[in-house]
Amino acid sequence: MTLRAILPAALLALGAGNALAQDASKALHLKALAATCANCHGTGGRAIEGSAVPGLAGMPAAYFSEQMKAFKSGARQATVMHQLAKGYSEAQIEQLAAYFSALPRN
Amino acid sequence: MSMLQRRHLLQGAASLAALGLAGCATTSVPSKARVLVVGGGYGGATAAKYIRLLSDYKIEVVLVEPSEAFVSCPISNLVLGGARQIQELTVPYAALQSRHGVTVVRDYVASIDADKRVATLASGPTIAYDKLVLSPGIELMWDSVAGLKEANAAGQILQAWKAGPETVALRRQLEAMPDGGVYAITIPEAPYRCPPGPYERASVIASYFKQAKPRSKVLVLDANQDVTSKGPLFKKVWAEQYKGILEYRPQHKAVAVDAKAGTVKFEVQDDVKADVLNVLPSMRAGAIAVKTGLANSNGRWVNVNYLNFESTAAKHIHVLGDAIQVAPLMPKSGHMANSHAKVAAAAIVAELNGWEINTAPMLTNTCYSYVDTGKNVIHVASVHEYVAAEKTFKTVAGSGGVSAAPNELEATYAWNWARTIWSDALA
């Protein structure tokens, strides 16, 4: 292969590498956002045995979003969640809904 | 460092970790950690686990912690009230090692060389690191109350603010106290670990007295102007349930104790005599943070960059939990330390991979307080977002709040919170 042929290929590979790094870093940021739920709902959204609060892993995205919005608006009563839900934007709720729905329940 | 070199290092770290796993509980001290975590409390244990999780187990983590097991400060007031045993609040470190491949070393870190990135253990060995996570908790400033250090060492005047043997010993003192006796707790000026903790403790002990020795009294002697957390809720409970048992006195700053006479001296007010004295001195960042020169906020707390919790005094040292100079409305709580740890863990994983760190991290806090021996609970909750323009965390407008009133449902949630966060940090 000539140098002329290698250079564009290398540049392309570098670009792809950057895109991969960006994807990886975005995925990491989302995991960290989801980890703000783990203190009460369990690591990775998997509730502890006999938990009084639901696990989030595998929860259908539409249900997750609907409930969070109901907590936010006050339509669904709670002891704590109505206060915490108000701290998350609509966009964050959608991201979290997609994230948890894609995780296996166990 | 080039991408290739970095990849090579990461693979090396992964195979080292695999070796550690294969060898089970290793007692030898590794000479190198990619991330060295100092302190296995709510902050440190969570950071150790989440750096492993968020790096897909590629970053090697060594945790140095002197205690055999984690003992939770939250819920420990119930041990004083007799509703829980200390064993129920104790969680081993074994799962961090067996399930997550964290190398757990039972030792103290005696010194840290931030320039060379090397920590020296009390027993002698050194551990080199790329990143150090320091979660040292608090140091009790014994000298802030004359005579307290000696009285505490003699087991006469206890703090029980670091849960463990003192929690059990204080319970014994309360049990041994005759009906008609006085228990007094002194509270230092804020900031101190767990803002509502002293008021919860006073309430739980008042509840125990009401049932077991109804002629006894609880005195709350507070250096602050007023109750520093959940004030209206606590005061309502005290007026309705503990009238004639619990007395609250603000602006009482303890300056000296006389263990033999059973008295506390205050800066301004008259001396107070009690049968059981529980004196909480002023607090600052754990000793190793101060010794390393990181306590650059009033010589007491560690200023950090809130995006990655890196100390502003030393590169590659990330400080978590009660030891930091807090952002507005950020409590020194176990839940908050767990939240710090996740932001720091994600930032460290990003930095070691050469990725962008998150510029919009989030924190939550939920803090439950019992108002009796285990039946009724109140909470305060908040959500915090990083505000780039001010380089600090602020509570999200409209979020957070407190309970309307003490209730039994939240007692279920409080215990569930404890079991879940212990699992989130340690299992």
What pLDDT, in 10s, does the model give residues B123-171?
999 999 999 999 999 999 999 999 999 999 999 999 999 999 999 999 9
Best residue in B3, B309, B342 for a mutation probing chain A (most A CBs within 10 Å): B342
pLDDT at B247: 98
Chain A residues with CB-CB distance to B381 below 8 A? 80, 83-84
pLDDT at A9: 54
Chain A residues with CB-CB distance to B421 below 8 A? 39-40
Please judge whether B396 and A86 are an interchain contact, meaning their C-beta atoms are less than 8 angstroms apart.
Answer: yes
**Cα angle: B380, vertex A41, B193; to 5 degrees:** 40
Chains A, B: CB contacts within 8 A come to 121
Q: How far is B346 from chain A (nearest CA, A)?
A: 6
Please judge whether B346 and A31 are an interchain contact, meaning their C-beta atoms are less than 8 angstroms apart.
Answer: yes
Torsion of CA B4, B9, B15, B17, to 10 degrees: -140
Please judge whether A84 and B417 are an interchain contact, meaning their C-beta atoms are less than 8 angstroms apart.
Answer: no
Helices (H) and strands (E) in chain B, counts: 11, 24
Residue ranges of A 44-73 with Cβ closer than 8 A to chain B = 44, 47-48, 51-53
Please judge whether A32 and B342 are an interchain contact, meaning their C-beta atoms are less than 8 angstroms apart.
Answer: yes
pLDDT tens, position by position, A28-80: 999 999 999 999 999 999 999 999 999 999 999 999 999 999 999 999 999 99
Nearest to B381 among A25, A31, A84 (CB): A84
pLDDT at A19: 85
B24 φ, ψ to 5°?
Answer: 60, -145
Beta B32-38 vs B362-370: how paired, if at all? unpaired
Give the number of C-alpha atoms closer than 13 A to the C-alpha of residue B229, restricted to the C-beta side: 27
Chain B residues with CB-CB distance to A51 below 8 A? 416, 419-420
Per-residue pLDDT of chain B (427 residues; tens, 9 = 90+): 333 333 333 333 333 333 333 333 445 798 888 999 999 999 999 999 999 999 999 999 999 999 999 999 999 999 999 999 999 999 999 999 999 999 999 999 999 999 999 999 999 999 999 999 999 999 999 999 999 999 999 999 999 999 999 999 999 999 999 999 999 999 999 999 999 999 999 999 999 999 999 999 999 999 999 999 999 999 999 999 999 999 999 999 999 999 999 999 999 999 999 999 999 999 999 999 999 999 999 999 999 999 999 999 999 999 999 999 999 999 999 999 999 999 999 999 999 999 999 999 999 999 999 999 999 999 999 999 999 999 999 999 999 999 999 999 999 999 999 999 999 999 9
Tokens 């101190």 locate to B192
pLDDT at A1: 46
Answer with the residue of higher pLDDT: B409 or A13. B409
pLDDT at B25: 42
For residue B160, give the amino acid letter.
A
* Cα dihedral B286, B287, B288, B294 sign: positive
